[in-house]
Structure formats: structure tokens, C-alpha cells
Amino acid sequence: MQKRQHIVAGNWKMNLSYLEGRDLVREITDRLQPTETLVVLAPPFIHLNNIGNIIHGISNIYLGAQNCHWAEAGAYTGEVSARMLASIEVGFVIIGHSERREYFAETDAMLAQKTDAVLAHNMRPIFCCGEKLDVREAEKQEELVSEQLHSGLFHLSPDAFRQVVIAYEPVWAIGTGKTASPQQAQDMHAFIRQLIAEQYGQDIADATPILYGGSCNPSNARELFQQPDVDGGLIGGASLKAADFLAIVNSF
């Protein structure tokens, strides 16, 4: 089995002023130790160009966006297209974060279109999937995640799918202080990898990075990342503090 990429992606959500974001990235780049882990910084749109300039030339830090529209251009006030993001060398785009699904009514059909747009501009989607507490308590989490992946991703060709990163979000563990146990995370990540193998074959499944996206922090990252099918994290609150974020990056 080939070695998969380790990825730690920081999702700043709707936080930090322009100057605060600049200072955070400078601290991260100043303190980042040599690592094979791929680091992605996904700030609000106002930061993208400036952060791109700061990280330019650092081989393992990539610029990420938190969202994009599926259309190339048009009358979509307030939206940003994949073409625009690619023009400032964004490398990754988060697609279908649980908060986008919840607060902006994003459907799997919409997310399939967004994924296509991201890939068409040679960026990598970080495709989010996961269940709320009621689904977990009803033990329907595998059924839901399977539907999310089949509807949002499995229309892709094998070559296109090779560019995809998946982030599993137990929605009940985001911003609540709760965390899925390492075994719960591993069980779902293994299930996702099984679905990919059934759709695209074992080689592609073995090569697909699957990130954990539920309240990962410096105290639990190492144990989570030791699980055989957990390849990194999509980090929320802990990505806003350089020391915490770097501690997670160094947890492999």
C-alpha cells in the first residue's frame, strides 16, 4: 500500500481581521519546522491574496478557500468562483462544510457542481461529509455518509477522484467540546475508504487522504492521527492560534 499524504488544514471560518490574519500566518511560517505534512491555510476571502504572498516559496504550505460557487462567472452577488480562486494560486477549496450545509442549505447536488468547478481549475476539493447527533444516535451515520459521497463525489472519473481529499465531520463534535473517540473516528474513516474501494478500486482508496474534522486539538491529535485510516485533520478553532495549530501539524 502506498503512503498517503498527511494533511492538516486550518479552517479559520469567519474570524480574524486583515492584520490579525497577517500576523497569525507570519507566526506560523516563522515557527513551522521541516515536515512532510502538507499544511493548508483556509481563511476568509479577504486574506487569500496576502497570505498567498506570505507563503510563496514555502513548499509544504498551500492556500485554501472555504467555499466557491459552481458557476464560472455571472450575476451571483456575494459569491466567488473557482476561476477567481485559481487566479491567485489557491490550491485547495473546502466543499460542503457542515456549516455550509446547515446555514446555507447546500445540497449534495450543489456540492457535486462545486467539486466539478474546483477540479476544472486544477485545485483540490476538501469534500466534507458527516452526521448530526440524531443520526448518530439512530445508528444511521454510515447510511448518511454513503449517500453524501455517492451524490456529491462518486460521479467523478477515477482520474478526477485522485485529486479529492475527504474530511469526515461528526457534526455533533464540532464546536461542542465533544470529540469522537479515536475508535469512532477510525471506524468511519475505514468505512469511507471501503466505499471508495467499491467505487474506484483499492489502489485509489488507499491513496485518498481522509481527514478528521471534529474538534481536533493538540491534546487529542496524536492519538487520532495514529489511527490507520486517519490521515490528518480539518482544524477549526485550534487553527486560530499558531502554537496550537503547529502542535497539531507536528502530531504525526
Q: What's the Cα-to-Cα distance from 134 to each of 140, 170, 174, 232, rounded to whole Å? A: 9, 11, 14, 26
Segments making up each domain of the chain, as ranges: 7-249
What region, left, alpha or beta, does residue 13 occupy, with left being phi > 0 and alpha being psi -120 to 50 degrees? left
97, 99, 106, 189: the catalytic one is 97
**What pLDDT is stored for residue 174 in this prediction?**
75
Q: Is 169 a catalytic residue?
A: yes
pLDDT (0 to 100) of residue 3: 80
Q: How many Å apart are CA 210 and CA 229, to the nearest integer?
A: 7
Q: DSSP letters along 151-193, please? A: HHTTTS-HHHHTT-EEEE--GGGSSSS----HHHHHHHHHHHH
For residue 144, the model assigns a pLDDT of: 97
Residue 176: per-residue pLDDT: 67
Three-class HEC string of 200-235: HCHHHHHHCCEEECCCCCCCCHHHHHCCCCCCEEEE
* Cell numbers for 231: 490521515
97 catalytic residue (yes or no): yes
CA angle at 129 for the pair 39 and 222, rounded to the nearest 5°: 45
Flag residues of the chain having pLDDT under 70. Answer: 1-2, 175-177, 179
Question: Under a CB-based contact definition with an 8 Å cutoff, are residues 66 and 53 in contact?
Answer: no
pLDDT of residue 214: 84
Single-letter code of the amino acid located at 185: A
- pLDDT value, residue 173: 80
Best CATH choice for the domain 7-249 from the list 3.30.70.260, 2.40.10.230, 3.20.20.70, 3.90.1660.10: 3.20.20.70
Which of 6, 69, 169, 189 is catalytic? The answer is 169
The confidence score (pLDDT) of residue 133 equals 86
Instruction: Please list the residues that pair with 65 across neighbouring strands.
Output: 93
Predicted pLDDT at 2:
59
